[in-house]
Amino acid sequence: MTPPRPRNRRLWLSYAGACALAWCLFVLAGSEFDRGLDPFWLAVYQATTMLWAPMLLGVAVWPLAGRLHAGDAGPAATALAHALAALAFSVLWQAGEFAVNATLFGADHAGAVLLAGLLWRSVWGLVVYATIATAFTAVLQARAARSAAIAAAQAESALAKAELSAISGKLNPHFLFNTLNTLIALTRKDPAGAEAALLKFASMLRYVLDTKRGAEDRVLLSDEIDFLRDYLALEALRLGTRLRVDWQLEERVLADELPPLTLQPLVENSILHAVAPRKGGGCVTITARRNALNHGLDLAVADDGPGCEPEALEPRPGQRRGVGLAALRKRFALDYDGQARLRIHTAPGAGFRVDLFIPQV
């Protein structure tokens, strides 16, 4: 018989403990301590000679239970196989006890003992086999359930990571497309300004490329803010004094971490809907502070634009507006095990505000 694999060590330790407990209970049941030690030693002898065979045979039930559990046989075939195995278990148990008694006391004595207890030992053989087979099958089913749960969790995690990567892939080209359009416009109107803008664009492009390794990357808030300042400086070359920015940043949160390109889509939406369409422009307020309750990172991007009805934010077939906002909403629904939050506050004439909460380790 092959030795148990390391992953089955706990199983066999439990099996050995159950065998030792059964042996002790058998000894206690047959002992009469008020009559001295002789009945005790007799009980020890009887327990040992009677139980060694089923204890060893029980080990062979494990691979049988494994094959029946892993096979595709129907319930009837499985029940028949267990019934035949139970009969074989009972026969081998009595054959082992007969061999021991024949060796110690001769064949006549062994035959007499076998005939005297044939019926009840046959019944006990079936009961003991059923108990062992049931226990082993329960272990196999528990392992299968645990493996299925782990596989499902891994598949869900892989799906979430793939979806986050797809979301990040949507954010970056969306940003780059708008930036290139701005550079083209500046090249025609202000070559010197276009040169300065190209330098900022090169710095921004390096940031984008450095943070495109995976959806689970994290960057410092200070790096995200530097990237955002370059982006706003580039937009200011196009919008001039119509674009006003109010920075409300706590120094102590600049070392916090967040997914890359978290703030830029929100600021871009504010510029697109609240600043660029209005002759007098508008103000974009960017806030970062420590959450007083759970010490996470609170972020907000707000504008003083026209706002909208909250119902207008619901996605509609064929609608292309708010790609960055929709992607961020889905991103925060998947990331951080659901602990991150994104909330929107808006109403007609009341501007537009997006609040983010990002937990920190």
- Identify which of 60-64, 123-127, 354-358 has the greatest average pLDDT: 354-358
Give 70-89 as a DSSP string.
HS---HHHHHHHHHHHHHHH
- Residue 324 in this model has a pLDDT that exceeds 70: no
Q: How far apart are CA 271 and CA 239, in angstroms?
A: 9
Show the DSSP H helices in the chain as ranges.
9-30, 38-70, 75-105, 107-116, 118-189, 191-210, 221-239, 264-270, 323-334
Residue 220: the pLDDT is: 92
Higher local confidence (pLDDT), 137 or 217: 137
Please state the rounded mean pLDDT for residues 240-245: 92
Residue 53: the pLDDT is: 83
Residue 181: the pLDDT is: 79
Average pLDDT, the chain: 80
- The per-residue pLDDT for range 50-102, each reduced to its tens digit, is 788 888 888 888 888 888 877 767 788 888 888 888 888 888 888 888 888 88
Residue 3: the pLDDT is: 45
- Residue 23 in this model has a pLDDT that exceeds 80: yes
* pLDDT confidence bin for 298, thresholds 50/70/90: very high
* pLDDT confidence bin for 33, thresholds 50/70/90: low
Structure token pair of residue 303: 């504008």
- The per-residue pLDDT for range 181-226, each reduced to its tens digit, is 777 877 877 788 778 788 888 887 777 777 655 556 788 999 999 9
